């Protein structure tokens, strides 16, 4: 380690690992009873979609059974799911919304 010409110092990499927080998909599920217009209203109100986008995603859920309606941090995803479930319950529709790790 000195200055005697046989330097054996080791440079240690001390970069801090900054892991990005995991993201969560928010999923909307189809059912036979929730009116299409209500689902469109949910997508406009809670997911910031315009009417055309909301209608398209609603139809995807209607035809395929499920669709991703957004990707968020854990806290935001939980909030979205709770907002949708509360709104659906208030209007007595069986609409289901869930989240899963991306």
Nearer to ligand TYC, 48 or 75 (CB): 48
CB 44 within 8 A of CB 52: no
Residue 77, H or E segment: helix 74-90
Is 35 a residue that touches ligand TYC (CB under 6 A)?
A: yes
Using CB under 6 A as the binding rule, whether residue 39 contacts ligand TYC is answered as yes
Q: Which of 27, 49, 54, 61 binds ligand TYC (CB under 6 A)?
A: 61
The whole-angstrom separation of Cα 86 and Cα 94 is 11
Between CA 67 and CA 54 the distance in angstroms is: 12
Task: Mark residue 23 as left, alpha or beta (left: phi above 0; alpha: psi -120 to 50; beta: remaining).
Answer: beta
Cβ at position 98, least distance to ligand TYC in Å = 11
- Single out the residue of 24, 26, 27, 28 in contact with ligand TYC (rule: CB under 6 A): 28
CB of 23 to ligand TYC, least distance (A): 21
Q: Where along the sequence are the contacts to ligand TYC (CB under 6 A)?
A: 28-32, 34-36, 39, 58, 61-62, 95
């Amino acid at each position: 380690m000195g200055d005697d010409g046989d330097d054996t110092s080791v440079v240690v990499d001390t970069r801090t690992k900054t892991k990005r927080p995991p993201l969560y998909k928010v999923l909307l599920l189809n059912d036979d009873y929730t009116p299409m217009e209500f689902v469109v209203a949910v997508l406009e109100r809670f997911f910031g979609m315009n009417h055309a986008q909301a209608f398209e995603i609603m139809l995807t859920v209607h035809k395929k059974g499920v669709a991703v309606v957004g990707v968020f941090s854990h806290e935001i995803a939980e909030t979205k799911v709770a907002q949708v479930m509360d709104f659906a319950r208030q209007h007595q529709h069986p609409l289901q919304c869930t989240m899963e790790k991306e």
